[in-house]
Structure 1
Amino acid sequence: MKTIVYSETGDPSVLHLVDRMVTEPGASEVRVRIMVSGVNPTDWKSRRGSQPGESLAFPDVVPNQDGSGLVDAVGAGVSNVAVGDRVWLALAAYQRANSGTAQEYAVVPAERVFLLPAAASFDQGASLGVPAVTAYRALTVAEDGPRRLHPGALDGKIVLVAGGAGAVGHAAIQLARWAGATVITTVSGPVKAALAKAAGVHHVVTYTDSDVAAEIRAIAPDGVDLIVEVAPAQNSDLNLKVIRNRGSIAVYANHGGDLMTLDVRKHFSLNVRYQFLLLYTVGIEVVQQAAAAIHEALVDGALPIGADAGLPLHRFDLAQTADAHALVESGATGKVLIDVSAS
């Protein structure tokens, strides 16, 4: 089978196409014929490491955490999926050398494999894992709930999504709206504003405006209930100005810097909760809970992708995986997908 691997950290040129034997799934494992592989910033960051030429935990690694495909074989004890099922994957490559989705067949723990509804495309399936599960987690950490998303779960809530044109921001807008929230987003300009509107956001604010806080407060006079935050260092002052008493700020990335300064007394007075989240360490139970809600949202048609839905697609062949990684690393807007197998 055709497989992409890298044996040391570095730029996209460390990615190589090789031929390997298809392996059998062990107990509690599933072999998936990968149709589409999704590329996320976490994939190129793992490939880069802290510096070029670092040794890896394994002799080589197959990249990419997200993907979709068809169950090809199952190991002993697997009951959540069966041969022939259409599925999507989350955290496929986490702590595993040969399970990434940049290959024709991936053997993955069954607990990371989820049914893909008939109405959902393989492109959608490959776009879910990191973005949608992260967005779900961010929307379910508030002190005043909800703990699970479903239609009506966020009725009466106001959610602010920082960077609504990104993949996680896009999923957060869609899931929050599906759950009943009023959704505001901040973006850099008209192009990304159009994408956020296509995703279904109710209100768009340009973060370069002279008084962003006043614009948000005009929409949410009592403050926003929850902020899905991509750039906490840059946005900490704004967040304090617009968060309501007992509001929560869910931080999933560090765009703009690793360090931030907080006014302790002002945060005390508002009982603000900061919740940091990293998908790799939230626990498989959280991932599975998210997957169950994402399944419902897919069935309801709440997670469309493509330019018309605010998430442009960029396509590559498996042999072009290095180019796909380079595009994501460049900060391109939209979702980068790799066509692995013919349907």
Structure 2
Amino acid sequence: MLSLSTRERAEPGAGEVRVRIVVSAVNPTDWKQRRGAGVTAVDGSVETVPNQDGAGVVDAVGTGVSGIEVGDRVWVILAAAYGPGSGTAQEYTVVPAEHVLPLPDGVGFDEGASFAIPGLTAHRALTVAEGGPDRLAPGALEGTTVLVAGGAGAVGNSAIQLARWAGATVITTVSTEAKAELARAAGAHHVLRYTEPGLEDAIKQLAPDGVDLIVEVAAGVNAELDSRVLRPHGTISIYGDDGGTGTVGLSFRANAWVNARYQFVILYTLGIDRLRAGAESISAAMAGGALAIGEKTGLPIHRFPLADTASAHAASENGAIGKVLIDVTPAG
């Protein structure tokens, strides 16, 4: 159960940084962790501060830390994975310096808090194809056709914005017209309703030779479709199994015929070097205005005060479309 309490402000040790959190973000992994169902699930008897993502201002720096100074505007990645008391749903958190990145000039704390888990997941999904780029930048995906399943979700939104920034042609699937409008706002070139008949034919009309890369949120449900619309030597990047059973069945013949490559994606075991590399690309996209939040980019904001973190988690768990943010401390 979530509750508001007062804790002693921790001091950063060697290699650590203390950040005054301005904005914290809620992702599904956060409430899953709290419920004991996520990959970072913790013992319910341990007092835990939730939320992996956040942005704020460096408040103190431990010994051995270089390149980060008090007063720097920063965003943090996988804060709560560091320890039970290091989540961002609190005024101050202490995390390793390698989990702290500078927030580009002109980029707000909202953006910094919003694109860690969703943005890094999307970046990884878009950079695992055979012969593809290791990092995203303008032109990195030029000539590539990307299919994003669930383009109105947070990861789907990031994937659309990042793929478009990198020069790809983006096809996405959604369930409703309201979600289609969000996907268009994110920059998708083609938006299809997976609730309507003829989805496979519609994708093949847009990509007659098959799509190069699929960013997949519903691996089990879409397994058959994916194998039929993928081009030879294409890649299916799987980060979720929405609507599935947790077990994915694959057709040997269909996948073997196109030499399909499957890449499962999760950030917690990815490694800090890859996380930071992806974060640098995300920072560049944010700095260039290619990755942003709000209605204009298909990612509506739902705001809550720190004292109402429980409601913020409930909003995410109940399927709020857009980004759930928590205002923790004043920006100034």
Give per-residue Cα distances to partners, 1:99-124, cap 9 Å, x unaligned.
10000000011111111111111000
TM-aligned CA deviation for residue 144 of structure 1: 2.2
Partner of 2:267: 279
TM-aligned CA deviation for residue 336 of structure 1: 0.2
- Aligned sequence identity (%): 59
1:25 to 7, 12, 16: 12
Partner of 1:309: 297
Partner of 1:4: none
TM-aligned CA deviation for residue 93 of structure 1: 0.5
Q: Which amino acid aligns with 2:302?
A: H
Change (3 A) 1:281 1:58: farther
Contact 1:247–1:273 at 8 Å: present in 2 too? yes
Q: Matched residues in 2 for 1:193 and 1:29: separation?
A: 43
The TM-score with structure 1 as length reference comes to 0.93
Q: Which amino acid aligns with 1:213?
A: E
TM-aligned CA deviation for residue 260 of structure 1: 2.2
Q: Which amino acid aligns with 2:178?
A: V
Give per-residue Cα distances to partners, 1:206-235, cap 9 Å, x unaligned.
001211011111111110000000001110
Unaligned segments of structure 2, at least 5 residues:
none
Contact 2:36–2:42 at 8 Å: present in 1 too? no
TM-aligned CA deviation for residue 253 of structure 1: 1.0
Partner of 2:113: 126
Contact 1:87–1:113 at 8 Å: present in 2 too? yes
Q: Which amino acid aligns with 1:72?
A: D
Give per-residue Cα distances to partners, 1:160-190, cap 9 Å, x unaligned.
0000000000000000011110001000010
TM-aligned CA deviation for residue 146 of structure 1: 1.4
TM-aligned CA deviation for residue 50 of structure 1: 4.2
Unaligned segments of structure 1, at least 5 residues:
1-13
Q: Which amino acid aligns with 2:287?
A: V
Partner of 1:6: none
Alignment of 1:295 with 2:297, yes or no, is no
Alignment of 1:262 with 2:250, yes or no, is yes
Alignment of 1:222 with 2:209, yes or no, is yes
Partner of 1:334: 322
Give 4+ residue runs of structure 1 displaced > 2 Å after superposition: none
Q: Which amino acid aligns with 2:329?
A: S
Aligned to 1:17, the other structure's residue is in SS state coil
2:49 to 58, 62, 76: 62
Partner of 1:175: 162
Aligned to 1:62, the other structure's residue is in SS state coil
Change (3 A) 1:67 1:284: same
TM-aligned CA deviation for residue 58 of structure 1: 7.1
Q: Matched residues in 2 for 1:126 and 1:148: separation?
A: 21
TM-aligned CA deviation for residue 55 of structure 1: 6.9
Aligned pair count? 328
Alignment of 1:49 with 2:31, yes or no, is no
